[in-house]
């Protein structure tokens, strides 16, 4: 039985259009017949990845969108007054069928909005920072609007305004089109285009956030997250202690010792804070006392391993600071935890979650290298292959080529999983991102899986968790037909090594994927 689409994916008729012939002269695209692209056509280069080459005025690249080739020319980023103007020219190549029109205002729009290019993001990977377009009240985006229809051989210019980056170049993450690398940043006296001119007047918010890392142990005993240079290793109390107890088991001591090793490997000498948490069962006073005792037990195990360079402090929070809201069994299990907080040696450092179990057996079909594997989701058949993984400034940038082999049409909803589980429950990801994005594309390590890099897109209020963005294609809602291929981009913290294994639980696993410089 097919699951219902998220409400934001049904916001308008335009959201069902991917490549369509539209009536000319109107502001809104009208769905008619989709473009017929060659079966099996994946990307514009033999390697399976979009190509990027420097150009005197910026960066020129060719990408693939469901079998249609698109030329992209990104101008140098223009910076003035703390703001940055992105300008890009996109052209649908002449190999598309005559009369074809591609609506960029649909493909690149922000979820829950109508026509814009608000899902474009800037990545400053050396500075471990992501920038989103400026937004006003009601999610108004400081970008070009209207359908922005591409026709074969006729370029269309799109613009968006961001906060000014700190580095001399940035990467531009375009949904479905991949990553345009090393776009130069140039200083100007004033911006050629203002937010007012893009239909976003008044006070705007310009997000500039640290890129965060998130790992979860295979045995669900721990999770590790790094936000800027602030690391938190969360150890499940269900693994550390017996019910209502505060004495570490022998197995738990090994997990805490692994956490100590990770602190010594990635941490800056100084203060380490151990924070105990409980669920909401029993009284506030009882839970506060239990959480304090558990924090002290973990701290006592840490101190001998860390040595004199670290000062270990403890705090008991009881049930006052849940990781996940709610009273379900899964939420309460996630809330019973002890967190170890410390400062890493550099922003964006990956911290491995300690565990006592190796990687689980694959729960779906397995491929190796660039070999494609078959995947079936909700009775729809696909193949998926690793088109390439590249090492970039402390991160890995991966491209996954997903081809629909079944007849009919539909989006990639559910292809990368349906929802977060266990210690990933409290990440603050929207239902749309979890169901229609690539959050579930993880890298396998020795003791844990690394999720795609993410960031705080909006601070939570009134006890709600922060809302997070993910450095992947977050909104894979465009319908695909039989033989069409979507290239999905994923950015992970770099675990090191010459190869990686990419795993989506219950879907597929790709092993021994080479990492290129």
The answer on pLDDT for 16 being more than 90 is no
The answer on pLDDT for 52 being more than 60 is no
Asked if 121 and 63 sit in the same domain, the reply is: yes
Pairing of strands 395-404, 380-392: antiparallel
Domain membership of residue 202 (yes or no) is no
Average pLDDT over residues 74-87: 97
The answer on pLDDT for 68 being more than 60 is yes
The answer on pLDDT for 167 being more than 90 is yes
Asked if 176 and 216 sit in the same domain, the reply is: no
End-to-end distance of the chain based on CA atoms, in angstroms?
43
Domain membership of residue 461 (yes or no) is yes
- Tens digit of pLDDT for each residue in 217-249? 988 788 999 988 899 999 999 989 999 999 998
Which pLDDT band holds residue 53 (cuts at 50, 70, 90)?
A: low
Average pLDDT over residues 102-110: 93
Asked if 149 and 231 sit in the same domain, the reply is: no
**Lowest-pLDDT range of 123-127, 286-290, 321-325:** 321-325
Which pLDDT band holds residue 251 (cuts at 50, 70, 90)?
A: confident
CATH of the domain at 252: 3.30.1330.60
The answer on pLDDT for 292 being more than 70 is yes
pLDDT at 11: 33
Q: What is the CA radius of gyration of the chain?
A: 24
**Lowest-pLDDT range of 88-97, 370-379, 417-426:** 417-426
Mention every residue, 6+ apart, whose C-beta is less than 8 A from residue 36: 97
Percent of the chain with pLDDT over 90: 67
Asked if 182 and 295 sit in the same domain, the reply is: no
Average pLDDT over residues 69-95: 95
Average pLDDT over residues 17-33: 35
Which pLDDT band holds residue 17 (cuts at 50, 70, 90)?
A: very low
Q: Which residues pair with 156 in a beta bridge?
A: 90
The answer on pLDDT for 428 being more than 80 is no
> Locate tokens 């400026």: which residue?
134
The answer on pLDDT for 39 being more than 70 is no
pLDDT at 426: 66
Asked if 59 and 183 sit in the same domain, the reply is: yes
Asked if 23 and 163 sit in the same domain, the reply is: yes
Rounded to whole angstroms, the Cα distance separating 380 from 507 reads 12
Which pLDDT band holds residue 84 (cuts at 50, 70, 90)?
A: very high
Domain stop point among 188, 203, 238: 188
Percent of the chain with pLDDT over 70: 88
Domain that holds residue 436: 366-516
DSSP string, 483-497: T-EEEEEEEEE---S
The answer on pLDDT for 29 being more than 70 is no
Average pLDDT over residues 66-80: 95
Q: Hey, CA dihedral for 143, 149, 150, 154, is it positive or negative?
A: negative
**Lowest-pLDDT range of 16-20, 107-111, 344-348:** 16-20
> Locate tokens 């990307």: which residue?
43
Asked if 432 and 468 sit in the same domain, the reply is: yes
pLDDT at 358: 85
User: What crossing angle do the helices spanning 250-266 and 284-306 adopt, rounded to 10°?
Assistant: 60
Which pLDDT band holds residue 46 (cuts at 50, 70, 90)?
A: very low
The answer on pLDDT for 138 being more than 80 is no
Domain membership of residue 490 (yes or no) is yes
**Lowest-pLDDT range of 18-27, 122-131, 300-309, 507-516:** 18-27
Q: Which residues pair with 67 in a beta bridge?
A: none
The answer on pLDDT for 189 being more than 80 is yes
Q: What is the pTM of this model?
A: 0.84
Domain membership of residue 360 (yes or no) is no
Rounded to whole angstroms, the Cα distance separating 443 from 449 reads 5
Asked if 162 and 261 sit in the same domain, the reply is: no
Domain membership of residue 200 (yes or no) is no
Asked if 233 and 312 sit in the same domain, the reply is: yes
**Lowest-pLDDT range of 70-74, 94-98, 326-330:** 94-98
CATH of the domain at 452: 2.60.40
pLDDT at 227: 87
pLDDT at 419: 74
Domain membership of residue 65 (yes or no) is yes
Q: Decide which of 288 and 28 is more confident.
A: 288
Domain membership of residue 204 (yes or no) is no
Domain membership of residue 115 (yes or no) is yes
Asked if 431 and 488 sit in the same domain, the reply is: yes
Token pair of 505 as six digits: 């639980």
Q: Decide which of 13 and 155 is more confident.
A: 155
Domains of the chain: total? 3
Average pLDDT, the chain: 86
Asked if residues 55 and 6 have their Cβ atoms less than 8 Å apart, the reply is no
Asked if 84 and 218 sit in the same domain, the reply is: no
Asked if 433 and 291 sit in the same domain, the reply is: no
**Lowest-pLDDT range of 79-93, 116-130, 465-479:** 465-479
Q: 306: part of which helix (H) or strand (E)?
A: helix 284-306
State residue 169 phi and psi, 5-degree precision. Answer: -150, 160
pLDDT at 38: 29
């Amino acid at each position: 039985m097919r699951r219902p689409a998220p409400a934001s994916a049904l916001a308008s008729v335009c959201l069902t259009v991917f490549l369509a012939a539209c009536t000319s002269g109107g502001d809104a695209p009208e769905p008619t017949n989709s473009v017929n692209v060659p079966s099996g056509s994946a990307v514009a280069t033999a390697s399976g990845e979009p190509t990027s080459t420097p150009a005197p005025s910026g960066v020129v690249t060719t990408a693939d969108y469901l079998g249609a080739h698109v030329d992209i020319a990104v101008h140098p980023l223009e910076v003035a007054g703390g703001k940055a103007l992105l300008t890009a020219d996109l052209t649908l190549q002449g190999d598309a069928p005559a009369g074809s029109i591609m609506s960029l205002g649909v493909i690149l729009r922000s979820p829950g909005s109508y026509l814009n290019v608000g899902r474009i993001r800037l990545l400053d990977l050396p500075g471990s920072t992501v920038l989103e377009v400026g937004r006003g009240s009601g999610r108004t985006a400081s970008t070009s609007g209207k359908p922005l229809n591409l026709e074969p051989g006729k370029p269309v210019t799109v613009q968006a305004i961001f906060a000014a980056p700190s580095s001399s170049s940035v990467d531009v993450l375009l949904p479905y089109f991949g990553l345009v690398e090393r776009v130069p940043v140039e200083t100007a006296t004033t911006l050629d285009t203002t937010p007012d001119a893009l239909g976003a007047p008044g006070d705007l918010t310009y997000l500039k956030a640290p890129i965060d890392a998130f790992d979860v142990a295979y045995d669900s005993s721990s999770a590790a997250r790094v936000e800027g240079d602030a690391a938190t290793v969360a150890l499940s109390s269900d693994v550390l202690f017996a019910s209502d107890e505060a004495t570490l088991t022998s197995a738990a001591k090994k997990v805490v010792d692994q956490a100590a090793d990770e602190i010594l490997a990635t941490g800056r000498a100084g203060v380490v804070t151990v924070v105990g948490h409980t669920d909401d069962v029993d009284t506030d006073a009882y839970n506060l006392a239990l959480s304090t005792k558990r924090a002290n037990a973990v701290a006592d195990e840490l101190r001998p391993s860390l040595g004199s360079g670290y000062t270990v402090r403890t705090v008991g929070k009881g049930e006052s600071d849940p990781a996940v809201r709610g009273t379900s069994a899964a939420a309460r299990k996630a809330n019973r935890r002890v967190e170890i907080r410390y400062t890493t040696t550099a922003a964006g450092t990956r911290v491995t979650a300690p565990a006592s179990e190796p990687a689980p057996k694959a729960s779906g079909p397995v491929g190796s290298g660039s070999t494609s594997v078959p995947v079936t989701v909700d009775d729809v058949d696909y193949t998926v292959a690793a088109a390439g993984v590249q090492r970039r400034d402390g991160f890995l940038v991966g491209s996954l080529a997903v081809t629909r082999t079944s007849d009919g049409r539909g989006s990639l909803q559910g292809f990368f999983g349906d929802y977060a589980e266990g210690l990933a429950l409290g990440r603050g990801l929207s239902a749309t991102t979890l169901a229609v994005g690539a959050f579930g594309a993880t890298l396998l390590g020795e003791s844990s899986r690394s999720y795609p890099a993410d960031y705080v897109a909006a601070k939570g209020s009134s006890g709600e968790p922060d809302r997070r963005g993910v450095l992947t294609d977050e909104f894979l809602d465009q319908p695909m037909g039989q033989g069409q291929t979507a290239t999905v981009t994923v950015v992970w913290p770099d675990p090191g090594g010459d190869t990686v294994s990419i795993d989506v639980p219950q879907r597929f696993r790709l092993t021994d994927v080479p990492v290129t410089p």
